[in-house]
Amino acid sequence: MPKIQVNNIELDYEDHGNGKVLLLLHGLGSTKKDWDAQVPFFSKKYRVIALDLRGHGNSSIPTDAYGVMVMTEDVKAFLDHLKIDKATFVGFSMGGAIAFQMAASYPEYVNNLVIVNSGPDFNNMGTIGEELLRSRTQFLETKGLKLLAKEISYNMFPEDDQLELRKAFEERCKNNDYNAYYQSFVTLMNWGLGDQLETIKARTLVVASDMDYTPVAFKQEYVDRMQNASLTVIKNSRHGVVIDQPEGFNKVLEKFLEDE
């Protein structure tokens, strides 16, 4: 796989197809493998790039310097290196936070914005966010990353027919460096756009699962505060909708792109 050096680290990535650019940003503790069901589908019509964010996958694992703002600067430098001046940003979970921050900090780079089971303010999610930060931090410190990976994977893919999806995601998650995962998680939970959300002008699609950790109403609330956003709900899906309902997700994203 090719790698690009930015901000004193190397980012590993895949680059397929030609045309308008789709940049795929994975979730916390995972890798570009989150998008295995999207890359072959969309690279028939678009240039599809999926990268491993810092501290994840085959990219560099620094001892410090994590967080949404840092990763956003990585993404900007990555695009500059490839001489890409505009892209559709598709961000899942933590990747959605980075996509949001790109739209707020560098709107000139954003053609469209696609936010998947994520939000603009991880630091202002009320009791859901407080409980997630407390419980996951405690789990990490007392039981370790391998057991946390098993727990997260089961919660995302609990059905009997999802065993292979569960095993694959658990493998990705447990292979994380403990410090990199911990720093990425804590800094993510401290991040939020606040009033910047209302300044985002990019055409935006928010994709929600009916059984995600946060309810559909949570997504609807922030969609209503945006200038040019719409919400689509995918049924019979949990947090990892791009993995557990790839056909439904691909159809929704394809229509959004074609309606541009």
Whether residue 59 lies inside any domain: the answer is: yes
36: tokens are 């295995």
How does the average pLDDT of the chain come out, rounded?
Answer: 96
Q: 198 is in which domain, residue-wise?
A: 3-124+192-258
- Give the pLDDT of residue 127: 87
Cα dist from 239 to 47, 214, 244, whole Å: 26, 9, 9
Return the higher-pLDDT residue of 194 and 260. 194
Cα dist from 93 to 10, 16, 47, 85, whole Å: 22, 23, 22, 24
C-alpha angle 12/149/58, rounded to 5°? 10
- Under 8 Å between Cβ of 110 and 102: yes
Whether residue 176 lies inside any domain: the answer is: no
Whether residue 119 lies inside any domain: the answer is: yes
C-alpha angle 260/52/19, rounded to 5°? 30
Supply the CATH number for residue 207's domain.
Answer: 3.40.50.1820
> Can you tell me whether residue 170 is helix, strand or coil?
helix
Q: Picking from 82-86, 209-213, 256-260, which range would have the lowest pLDDT averaged per residue?
A: 256-260
Query: Cβ neighbours of residue 70 under 8 Å, at least 6 residues apart?
Result: 7, 54, 187
Q: Which residues pair with 121 in a beta bridge?
A: 192
97 pLDDT above the threshold of 70: yes
Mean pLDDT computed over 87-116: 98
Whether residue 197 lies inside any domain: the answer is: yes
pLDDT in tens, 50-81: 999 999 999 999 999 999 999 999 999 999 99
Q: CA 180, CA 177: separation in Å to the nearest integer?
A: 5
Of 142, 150, 140, 152, whose CA–CA distance to 177 is shortest? Answer: 140
198: tokens are 């209302």
Angle between helix 178-189 and helix 94-105 axes, rounded to 10 deg: 50
Whether residue 158 lies inside any domain: the answer is: no
- Give the pLDDT of residue 2: 84
Please tell me the total count of domains within the chain.
Answer: 1
Of 260, 259, 258, 256, whose CA–CA distance to 114 is shortest? Answer: 256
260: tokens are 């541009």
- Give the pLDDT of residue 1: 62
Q: Picking from 74-83, 137-146, 197-206, which range would have the lowest pLDDT averaged per residue?
A: 137-146
Q: CA 84, CA 239: separation in Å to the nearest integer?
A: 30
Q: CA 122, CA 253: separation in Å to the nearest integer?
A: 24
- Give the pLDDT of residue 126: 85
- Under 8 Å between Cβ of 118 and 92: yes
Q: Picking from 44-48, 50-54, 131-135, which range would have the lowest pLDDT averaged per residue?
A: 131-135
Whether residue 133 lies inside any domain: the answer is: no
- Give the pLDDT of residue 142: 93
pTM: 0.97
pLDDT in tens, 168-182: 999 999 999 999 999
pLDDT in tens, 26-43: 999 999 999 999 999 999
Whether residue 97 lies inside any domain: the answer is: yes
Of 250, 259, 251, 254, whose CA–CA distance to 228 is shortest? Answer: 259
Whether residue 180 lies inside any domain: the answer is: no
- Give the pLDDT of residue 238: 97
Q: CA 116, CA 140: separation in Å to the nearest integer?
A: 25
